[in-house]
Amino acid sequence: KNEVEQSPQNLTAQEGEFITINCSYSVGISALHWLQQHPGGGIVSLFMLSSGKKKHGRLIATINIQEKHSSLHITASHPRDSAVYICAVRSNTGNQFYFGTGTSLTVIP
């Protein structure tokens, strides 16, 4: 069983739709990260959360520590949002990071 589970695996949306990607984890964490991987392969860090909610532009990330769950929301989705979104957690018992398998998002014009 993976320490980090994401859903859905694949997501197709029409431009303008509100999108939610979910992440559940099973280990104690010091922080949770949302990453974006573009088709070329490079990864960009979007958010780092240890509690509550963060917003950056059209992106919103939330975390519920008690339920070990985080969501990434994209409002007014756009084709340029098409990418793989990866949830990662940093264990609170060491320097280990655990990664979800990613959610592949395609936004259609």
Partner 1 sequence: DGGITQSPKYLFRKEGQNVTLSCEQNLNHDAMYWYRQDPGQGLRLIYYSQIVNDFQKGDIAEGYSVSREKKESFPLTVTSAQKNPTAFYLCASRPQGSYQPQHFGDGTRLSIL
Chain residues in the site for partner 1 (CB under 8 A)? 2, 4, 30-31, 33, 35, 40-45, 48, 50, 86, 88, 90, 95-102
Nearer to partner 1, 22 or 98 (CB): 98
CB of 87 to partner 1, least distance (A): 9
CA 99, CA 13: separation in Å to the nearest integer?
24
Neighbours of 28 (CB within 10 A): 11
Q: Are strands 83-91 and 29-37 parallel, antiparallel or unpaired?
A: antiparallel
Nearer to partner 1, 17 or 98 (CB): 98
Q: Using an 8 Å Cβ cutoff, are 27 and 3 in contact?
A: yes
Nearer to partner 1, 7 or 101 (CB): 101
